[in-house]
Structure 1
């Protein structure tokens, strides 16, 4: 069964808090509920107490999906990472999450507005040899705790390009699932449809945002930072950019889980209510076209 959720980044940005900083949680949740959204991921304005978060979302007829967790497995081993994650795992599980969204954030530049994407970290062979088994071990530990690790490839991080996603998937064990993010995959130089088809049996979570190709190309050509590109509108909701979403969903005929709407835009330029409603309507249409009911 596919359920449609959203990330509050459609309203308020988590990497640059002033983007949508004036939008209250109540507006976000009311508009999400009215758009027919079934679940929400974690945003910085939401409580980090499991029962409190679960109740807040339930008051709006929604459930908790998951939340981002930054790993630093190039700096510490899997057992140390798991020990450091205990509080984060606890409140997520108490709030009702089934998956843990993780991204390796050693030396990442995606949250630094002054850092061009060209300055992002690129792993050496020796670093890959350390990172991959540690991620597998971490995922196994998290699975024992009762959550499924889904790895978020992301612009500005050590797993950005399709080649890096391939190396990551080849080098990690079955305890690690992939979070397919259509926007990051496309802007990172990949084909979201081809990637969905290639890893259909290991995709455990899906983030859907579209890409405005002219802005994506300009951002890379002119050395913009990730956040400057976001402010300029590199991302939008499904159906408003260049990605073949019906093709993505056709490539995932047996997928069961969450499909998460993300826009990651400046709400002063792109009204969240307008774009969220547009995105949800388009997602439902694309899913139906692909045979998902």
Structure 2
């Protein structure tokens, strides 16, 4: 399996000036970049950087689907992802309660059709507080969504919902096309905050508590040696991307420490 890193801790300018070179120095194979940053950098600049440092573009992650404008941006982003040679186009479902099932289904159809035309695989990112969140919802949308829609499995976002990460990997083994390795250190009253988001409550305190629970690999509750071993057991041979959100100071240090931790618990 090839290992990548996300650019969440880098703004658009620093992706170009330090980010891609940081990933190469830490011996990452690839990168995931948000669509907004891809647009800001431009295809030529980003493509040249990826070529210079021999870094693959694993995924272009479209933004949250809140509006028709967001849907259209994701549709247009599929072609940009395809032009850059990205393997995946990531789909972030709407926050819970923003749209109904019929609207979300229509948006999925449009985005997945554009992805097919662009030669990229659309992957839905299950996410707490979103329209696709719990295991039963993941199953529903994979079954009812477009035929080319596959799953981005995220270790931290699967953690709260009753099954272990390993059980989740086994449950969705035939659907997982792409993986986020992400750790979580649940705060006090974590289950209360998850329940608020799951019920669609507009509770910003719950959102903040859940977001700030994400942490570097090895500093939370997830056993990544076990997770990767389970992926091996189900014959997953795709990309693993480490996703870090809350450590914006010294991003190179975190990029290296997270790769080091993964290597320490696996044979990667």
TM-score by length of 2: 0.79
Measure, in 1, the Cα distance between the counterparts of 2:244 and 2:73.
31
Structure 1 SS opposite 2:239: strand
SS in 2 for 1:256: coil
Structure 1: distance between partners of 2:118 and 2:15 = 33
- What SS is found at the alignment partner of 1:37? coil
1:102 corresponds, among 88, 91, 112, to 91
Q: After superposition, give the CA deviation of every residue in 1:98-151 in whole Å (9 maximum; x if it has no partner).
A: 21111222xx2xxxxxxxxxxx4287xxx3355447635642552243111111
1:103–1:151 contact (8 Å) kept in structure 2:
yes
SS, match of residue 89 in structure 2:
strand
Structure 2 gaps of 5+ residues are: 197-202
Once residues 24 and 189 of structure 2 are traced to their aligned partners in structure 1, the CA distance between those partners, rounded to angstroms, is: 31
Q: Hey, what does 1:65 align to over in structure 2?
A: 58
| Cα distance in structure 2, aligned partners of 1:85 and 1:196 | 27
Matches within 5 A, 1:85-100: 85-100=74-89
Q: State the SS of the aligned residue for 2:159.
A: helix
How many residue pairs were aligned?
Answer: 256
Distance 2:15 2:112 in 1: 34
* Structure number with higher helix proportion: 2
Aligned counterparts of 1:37 and 1:59: Cα–Cα separation in 2: 14
Contact 1:39/1:62 (<8 A) preserved: yes
For 2:241, the equivalent position in structure 1 comes to: 260
Pair 159,281 (structure 1): closer, same or farther in 2 beyond 3 Å:
same
Q: CA deviation at 1:235?
A: 0.8
CA contact (8 A) 2:126 2:154 kept: yes
SS at match of 1:5: strand
Runs of 5+ unmatched residues, structure 1: 15-20, 109-119
Q: Which 10-residue stretch deviates more, 271-280 or 165-174? A: 165-174
Please give the TM-score of this superposition, normalised by the length of structure 1.
0.73
The CA distance in 1 between the partners of 2:145 and 2:79, in whole Å, is 25
Contact persistence 1:6–1:40 (CA under 8 A): yes
